[in-house]
Each structure stands twice: as C-alpha cells, then as structure tokens.
C-alpha cells in the first residue's frame, strides 16, 4: 500500500513506508510530551501512538490543576498516511522536525482544550536501545530519544484559561518506536509473573539539562541505563544542526529512592550521572506534584494503548488526586514534578516511577506491596 511518504528517499526495507518491518502485533510508533509550571502547581502531558499492525491510533491529553487531574482520550482507526497525526479533537503538527511542534485540542469533548507550541532547547538525545527478552521472545525492542524545550500558548480547564508564557513552562518530549506490550491481552500459555522497575528523570537547569534513566531486574541488576548532560540553548535556532558535539553520554548512573511507606512512590530521591573521566554529577530531587500516567493511557483498563475501540471513540475522565488508592495497580505509574539541586544549580524536572513486582534493593516482595 503506497502513501505520500513513499515519494521520499527514506525507505529502510523493500516494503512501502506503510508496511512495518515486523508483523509483531505490538509494533508501535509514539509521541510523548509534558510541560509544567516552575512552581509545581500545574502539569500537562500529551501522547499519540500508532499501532499499524493493530490498525489503531490513539491519543490523550491530561492536566493536573488545583488538585484534580482531567483527561481526554481518543482512539480511531489508524490512517494510511503516516503524516496524518490527528484524532478527533486532538491534532499534533510537526512544524520543524527536531525543533518545533504544535499541539491543539479543540473544545467540546471534555473540560480540556489547548493551543500549545513546543520549542526545543536541546538537541534530540537518543537513548540506548531497549531490548528485553523472556524465554526467547522480545518483550521490548525499541528505540527512543528525548528532547528538552519550552512551551507557549494556552490551556483551558473548564472555564479557566491558563496562559503559558515564554520561558515559564519547561517540558520534555520523547519519541519511541519498536515493539513493546500494548493492546488487549494475548492468548496462549501464561507468561512470567510481571516485574518491571523503571526510573526516568529529565531535569532542566538554566545552562544544562541532565537526563537519567534505568531499568532493573528484581535482583537490582541493571538491564538498561542512560545518563546524558546536554547544553541548554537560549533559542531553538541556536541548537546545532545534526549531532551536538557538546553532549556528554554515559551508561554509568546510580540512584537512591526514599520510598513513601505503604506506597511505591518516592518522597525524595538522589540520582548520579558519572561521565567517564569526570567527577560524578549528584542531583537531589524533591517532589512537588504528582501526575498519574493513567491519564494518558498507561495501565488504563479502558483506554490502554493500542486497544481497538472502533472507527472513532472519545472519552473524558476526572479525579481528585488526594482520593486515590496509591497501591491500586492503575495508579502505580506516575511522574513527579520535582525541584532539583545539583551543587549550586537549582532546576526543575520530573521523576517517572513504574515499579511492578519484586525489587530486592527497594524491599518490594510481591506484585504490588508497599514500602515498609
């Protein structure tokens, strides 16, 4: 099946662009964005995913404001054209690749609407490839990159409009594609008991950005890690074209999480990025606000990623954050907006946490027990 992109010299296989290189039904191609006020009072996130072997596209926009989280979910039959990044009231436009994007949510389907522009402040930062196998099958085989930036525009929550002023609402985006577990549960023999330990911490300071990520087995052994130190540029146009030679990368990272008793979320954390031949950077993180990743489809039993809901489905949810059961499996996956300190520098960023199953260094013994 041909599409417009077949007229560009970008093919990686003999197949047309609309044909994935694998028949794995869990193949995906995904955008993620977040943004947050520097005082930690306001947070939003958006995600859009394409699952071509499932013929599904879905997206979500979610906002935390005044102690409540509002979410809009959309699912549709996947378009043939890969450049068609629109689903119901949500439109994502690539204004300039690797530099500038526009997110629009039209009013009428929920309490949320927005018109936002993301301007990059760093180069795109490719992470090491994610590859996790169990009994000969790839549970995860994907590539991802992250990029820091600033937002401008507005967000409307109910009757209240929040102005997003230049240099006041930082954020980070990521792009990932490949294979990971999505959609409805598959048949066949049962798999292993779930176990997943994931920390992800992109932090912005005035002059640099740091990026930290780690996956660990139940024993605490690392199977994926990433540390980056990148210059933060004052304008999008100042970012070097292509590879930024001043970006420093290392897999040598460490963390210490102080878990809130009875939960699987941090009360504070310290992370470390240790470039080869340099003194390690030590960053302390203090949470200010919590965002439930459920609001953009993660661990969402109704609006999970890649689930078939018909040619077009739109839904909205809303809840008060202080009324949630923190060990409910739906609420395990979160992002904390955090105040960050690194030596004399003070910054802002997020600490994403997803811990399912045992993790010996943290003291977790079963699927969803809380910290002691």
Of 69, 71, 60, 70, nearest to 30 (Cα)? 60
Angstrom distances, CA of residue 348 to CA of 23, 24, 60, 330: 41, 38, 24, 26
pLDDT > 90? residue 187: no
Asked which of 63-72, 129-138, 216-225 is least confident by mean pLDDT, the reply is: 129-138
Of 187, 242, 230, 179, nearest to 205 (Cα)? 230
The mean per-residue pLDDT over the stretch 37-65 comes to 96
pLDDT > 90? residue 145: yes
Q: 108, exposed or middle or buried, with CB in 10 Å at 0-12, 13-18, 19+?
A: exposed
* Fold classification of 25-185+192-362 (topology level): AttH-like fold (2.40.370)
pLDDT > 80? residue 184: no
Contact 71, 317 (CB under 8 A): yes
Q: How far is CA 165 from the centre of its chain?
A: 23
Contact 362, 255 (CB under 8 A): no
Residue 176's pLDDT is: 97
Give 82-130 pLDDT, tens digit per residue: 999 999 999 999 999 999 999 999 998 899 999 999 999 999 999 999 9
Residue 284's pLDDT is: 98
Give the residue with greater pLDDT, 134 vs 333: 333
Long-range contacts of residues 133-140, Cβ cutoff 8 Å, at least 24 apart: 134/191, 134/192, 135/192, 138/24, 138/179, 139/180, 139/181, 140/178, 140/179, 140/180, 140/181
pLDDT band at 207 (very low <50, low <70, confident <90, very high): very high
pLDDT > 90? residue 195: yes
The residue extents of the domains of the chain are 25-185+192-362
Q: Which two tokens stand for residue 363?
A: 């003291």
Mean pLDDT score of the chain:
95
Residue 47's pLDDT is: 98
Residue count of the chain, please give it: 372
Of 215, 147, 174, 210, nearest to 341 (Cα)? 210
Contacts of 225 (CB under 8 A, 6+ apart): 128, 213, 214, 215, 251, 252, 253
Residue 341's pLDDT is: 98
Residues in a beta bridge with 32: 47, 174
Residue 137's pLDDT is: 78
pTM of the model: 0.96
Round to whole Å and give the CA distance between 203 and 227. 11
Asked which of 114-118, 136-140, 311-315, 328-332 is least confident by mean pLDDT, the reply is: 136-140
pLDDT > 90? residue 289: yes
Task: Give CA torsion, residues 177, 137, 253, 255, to 10 deg.
Answer: 100
Query: Is residue 361 classed as helix, strand or coil in its secondary structure?
Result: helix
Task: Give CA torsion, residues 190, 191, 195, 199, to 10 deg.
Answer: -120
Q: Which two tokens stand for residue 112?
A: 């949320």
Angstrom distances, CA of residue 306 to CA of 48, 220, 292, 309, 322: 10, 30, 19, 9, 29
The mean per-residue pLDDT over the stretch 219-229 comes to 97
Residue 270's pLDDT is: 98
């Amino acid at each position: 099946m041909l599409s417009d992109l077949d007229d560009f010299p970008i093919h990686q296989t003999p197949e047309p662009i609309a044909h994935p290189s694998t028949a794995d039904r869990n193949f995906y191609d995904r955008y993620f964005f977040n943004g947050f006020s520097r005082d930690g009072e306001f947070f939003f996130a958006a995600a859009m995913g394409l699952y071509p072997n499932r013929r599904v596209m879905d997206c979500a926009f979610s906002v935390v404001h005044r102690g409540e989280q509002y979410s809009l979910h959309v699912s549709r039959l996947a378009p043939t054209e890969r450049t068609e990044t629109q689903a119901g009231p949500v439109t994502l436009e690539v204004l300039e690749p690797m530099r500038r994007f526009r997110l629009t949510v039209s009013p009428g389907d929920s309490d949320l609407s927005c018109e936002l522009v993301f301007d990059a402040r760093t180069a795109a930062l490719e992470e090491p490839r994610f590859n996790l196998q169990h009994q000969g099958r790839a549970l995860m085989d994907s590539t991802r990159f992250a990029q820091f930036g600033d937002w401008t525009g507005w967000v409307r929550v109910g009757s209240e409009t929040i102005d997003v002023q230049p240099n006041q609402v930082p954020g980070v985006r990521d792009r990932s594609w490949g294979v990971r577990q999505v959609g409805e549960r598959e048949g066949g023999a049962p798999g292993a008991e779930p176990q997943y330990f994931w920390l992800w911490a992109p932090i912005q300071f005035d002059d640099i950005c740091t990026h930290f990520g780690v996956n660990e087995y139940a024993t605490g052994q690392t199977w994926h890690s990433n540390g980056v130190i990148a210059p933060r540029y004052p304008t999008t146009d100042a970012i070097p074209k292509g590879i930024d030679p001043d970006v420093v990368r290392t897999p040598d990272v460490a963390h210490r999480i102080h878990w809130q008793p009875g939960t699987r979320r941090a009360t504070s954390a310290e992370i470390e990025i240790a470039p080869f031949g340099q003194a390690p950077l030590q960053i302390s993180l203090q949470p200010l606000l919590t965002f439930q990743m459920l609001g953009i489809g993660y661990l969402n039993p109704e609006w999970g990623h890649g689930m078939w809901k018909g040619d077009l489905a739109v839904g909205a949810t809303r809840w008060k954050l202080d009324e949630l059961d923190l060990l409910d499996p739906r609420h395990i996956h979160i992002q904390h907006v955090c105040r960050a300190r690194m030596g004399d520098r003070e910054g802002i960023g997020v600490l994403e946490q997803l811990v399912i199953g045992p993790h010996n260094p943290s003291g977790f013994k079963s699927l969803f027990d809380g910290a002691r």
